[in-house]
Structures are given as structure tokens and as C-alpha cells.
Amino acid sequence: MTNVTFQEKTKVVVVGTGDKAHGLARMYELHSKKDGHYKLVFTEPMPTKMIDSFDSDHVTIEHFPECLANADIVVILIPSYAMESFLIQNYTLLKEGCVLVDATNPTGTKDLRDTLAALNIKSDDWVKAFNDTGAIQEMQSSLKDKMKLTTSVCGPSDRCVKEIVALAKFLGYSPTVIPIDQYESLQSSQDSIGWEWIHGTTVMILLFALSFTYVTVQVSGRPNFQWYTLLARHSSKMFAWTAVWGFALSLLPGTTIRLLKQATYMDTTPRFLIWGCSIRKHVGLLSLYFVLLHACMMLLIFGGEYFGFLIDDGYMAWNDEASMLTAVLSLSLFIITGIASLPSVGHEMNKAQFMLVFGPVVWSALTLGLMHVMFLGVPSWTETPRSRYSWARGMPPVTLMASVLPLLVMFIKTVQVCHASSLKVKNYVVSRRHQVSSIHASDHLFVIDEVEEGV
């Protein structure tokens, strides 16, 4: 057996001297061992930064491009617009089998894969990795951190992917291998807010456009309407309607999937429901933003001048008081749900806590929010003759419109829960019968067990 010498270590050259390179230097400094398998080489100039006072005696700094000679792995951290000239000038210096790691997030420019193709370099010795972790997170990383930084590793060659997975583990990351077919999903992950946020925001903008149009058309038909009141008095209606439909939509996909699984025993979930589940957290958080706008606006302008119809001789009727109580209770529960959906809080929660917040708590929040609207609105839905304010232009009141979707979603939830309970009862009866007649558990029981979990 020969001792591991300097030369036998895998030489990893990090090309680039910005924050990201400092981040990798920090990760190396934290996790490397004296007899470690890797030698990380950085290129000059590599100044020490305020946030990351990395120990330059610990990491190796060499001249560029000489350092590329004998490199086993080259991590590219230069701006993506410089990728082409980097490859033109240096590709021939690389030894056979050297793995190129693309850690860039190109915006409007080509990444490593596309630049190699454009230069007609036919090589599979490249991997995309480390582009989805933030440089600042890496520079601030410490051994006391409870969670590891995760990075996705993707490339056309299994050998290269394995090598980079091993390097990532050595540097203290938690790597995930992404199939090459999914390459596009991590191409520029730090420069995109993520498709879930984009789709969630689009859904909320569409909801807001709907409520804006309806409220504007309806309230402009009221007697003595002043257009400037759209700014505060009536914009709060738009915010409220958008929020309450957003909350309902965020709860719809999960409930529908459960009901379909219970009722039809389907084993594949329709794609649009998976899409709905993927964006429900984002839609819920954006709805929380809208409901806070509504609550702030209402608290700012609440008073006899605007809300004289709620206040009679200085007092509210019982239903208006009940509406205010349910409003604050609903708001407080939605805020708790929003806090629980923060990754740092969610990670600390166990399954039971998670099920409590995203089950009874969030459904109670929606129910109380709906009660708030209905305590205020129901009298105007049924009164005869119809009020020229609530039913302006003959259009149904905003309170009624805002309640339709949440009522529908709550109805679906009720059906799902009742159906699940009836399955539970059937399950109990069947199991008792089986016990009595000593027949072993059938497949049926397993199906019902699954359903029970989802209630």
C-alpha cells in the first residue's frame, strides 16, 4: 500500500473569484480533512472578503490558466457571457476525461451545454451542479447549521455525475441526482423565482382582475358614486374577494384528490390536480397578502362616515359584531398557517403538528372568514325590495359573489369527510365480521386503511 500523496488527490480547479468561489472555499474549509481525497485549487486574485474571511493558507491558489493542467474537475464560476471565450482559449489545456462543472445561472446567454454544442465540441464530460445554492448561504455556512445545503446534479455521463455527487458530499452538500431529461428545470435556478411562484402569481392576478372588473362595474352603478372611492373604500372589497377565493382555491386540489381516491380508488392523479397541489402554498401565501391588505384598509377607514350602514346610534347589530369577531379569528388563524408554511418553521414541525395546522386550523380559518362575510352580507342577499347599493345595476352583491367558491369548496370537503367516515364505519363492520368468522383480512381493508390516512 502506498500513502496517499498530493498528486493522487483529485484536483478540483475552481475558475472564478467572485462570491460563489468564496462560498465553495468556505465549504471546503469547513469540511476538508488533511488526508481528504480532494485538492481544491482557486485562481488568482482570490481576495479575502468581509463576510468570508477564508483562510488562504488552507486553500490552494494558483495561476490561471496553468492551474488547469492535470485538473480532474473544473468548476466554472465565471459570468456565463465569458463561457465561450473561456472554452475557446482553454479547452485544449484540459486533460482527457476532465469533468467540467457548470455552476452558472445564465440569463439570456448560453450555458456550458449550449456553448459546447455551439463550438461543436462533442463531449459528455460535463455536469450542471452548485448553481442552485446561494453564494451568501455558502459563505455564512457553519458546522453548527442543522440543515445541509442541497444541490441538484445533472449531466449526460453517469461517471461524471457520480464524481460530482461524491465531491458535493465531501464539501458538505446534500446532492440530488436529476435525470438529464429534466435538465431545463435547473438551468438557471438562482435567476428565476420558480414556476410555482409564477403560476401562483398569475392565478392571483387573474382573480384580482375578475374582482376588480366586477366590483368596479357594480359599485359604479350605485347612487352618488364617486370614482375616487375605488382607491380605498372599494379596493378593499377587491382585495377581500381575491383573498377568499385564493384561500378556497388553495384547498381545492388536495380535497379533490382525496375524494377521487376514496370514491374511485384511482391510482393515478390527474396532472392539473398535481399542478394545483404544487402551487397551493404559493396561492395561499399570496391570498394572505391580499387579506392583510383588506384588513389594513378596513381598519384605516372604518368609521361612521363610510360604514354608517353598520352602525346604528353608535352601535352595531349582533350580526355585524359577530362578523368582526369572526374576521379577526379568521385572520389570526390564516397568519398562523402562513407562519407554518415558512420552510424554517415547517421543517421543525412533526407530522401531527403539520396535519393540525394544514387540516383543522386552515379549514377553520376559511370557515370563520366565510362567516365574517355572511354575517355582513346575507341580510342583503335576501331582502326585498333589493337595495340599490348592494344590488347596484341588478348585479348580485360582492359578499354573495365572494362566498360562492368558498361555499363550493367547503361543500366538497364536507362530502369527502362524510364519505371517508362512512368508509371507516364500513371498515369497522367488515373487520368485526371477519374477526367473528376468523376470515383473514382482505385486500379491501388495505384500501380503506389508505383512505383513513387521508381524512
How far apart (Å, rounded) are the C-alpha atoms in residues 226 and 214?
Answer: 16
Binding-site member from 283, 369, 409, 423 for ligand HEM (CB under 6 A): 369
Residue among 149, 244, 252, 257 that touches ligand HEM (CB under 6 A): 244
The pattern of x and - marking residues 93 through 132 that bind ligand HEM according to CB under 6 A reads ----------------------------------------
Binders of ligand HEM in range 40-99 (CB under 6 A): none
**Residue carrying C-alpha cell 380559518:** 365
Using a 10 angstrom Cβ sphere, with 0-12 exposed, 13-18 middle and 19 or more buried, the burial of residue 383 is: exposed
Pick the closer one to ligand HEM by CB: 317 or 328.
328
Helices (H) and strands (E) in the chain, counts: 15, 10
Of 59, 94, 249, 398, the one binding ligand HEM by CB under 6 A: 398
3 state DSSP class of 385 = coil
Q: Please write down the long-range contacts of 265-271, taking CB distance under 8 Å and 24 or more positions apart.
A: 265/447
Taking CB under 6 A as the criterion, the residue among 67, 291, 400, 423 binding ligand HEM is 291
- In 103-220, DSSP assigns E strands to 126-128, 149-153, 173-177
- 359 sits in the region (left: phi over 0; alpha: psi -120 to 50; else beta) called alpha
CB nearer to ligand HEM: give 104 or 390: 390
Nearest to 112 by CA among 127, 98, 130: 127
**Cell numbers standing for residue 51:** 463576510
**Comparison of 91 and 302: residue with beta carbon closer to ligand HEM:** 302
CB neighbours of residue 235 within 10 Å: 18
Closest listed residue to residue 41, CA positions, set 10, 66, 13: 13
Tell whether residue 373 is a contact of ligand HEM (CB under 6 A): yes
Number of residues that bind ligand HEM (CB under 6 A): 23
**Distance of alpha carbon 239 from its chain centroid, rounded?**
22
**Is 286 among the residues that bind ligand HEM (CB under 6 A)?**
no
Nearer to ligand HEM, 13 or 368 (CB): 368
Q: Is 249 in the site for ligand HEM (CB under 6 A)?
A: no
Residues 301-340 that bind ligand HEM (CB under 6 A): 302, 307, 327-328, 330-331
- Rank residues 340 and 376 by Cβ distance to ligand HEM and give the closer one: 376
Nearest approach, Cβ of residue 305 and ligand HEM (Å): 13
Binding site for ligand HEM (CB under 6 A): 237, 240-241, 243-244, 291, 294-295, 298-299, 302, 307, 327-328, 330-331, 369, 372-373, 376, 398-399, 402
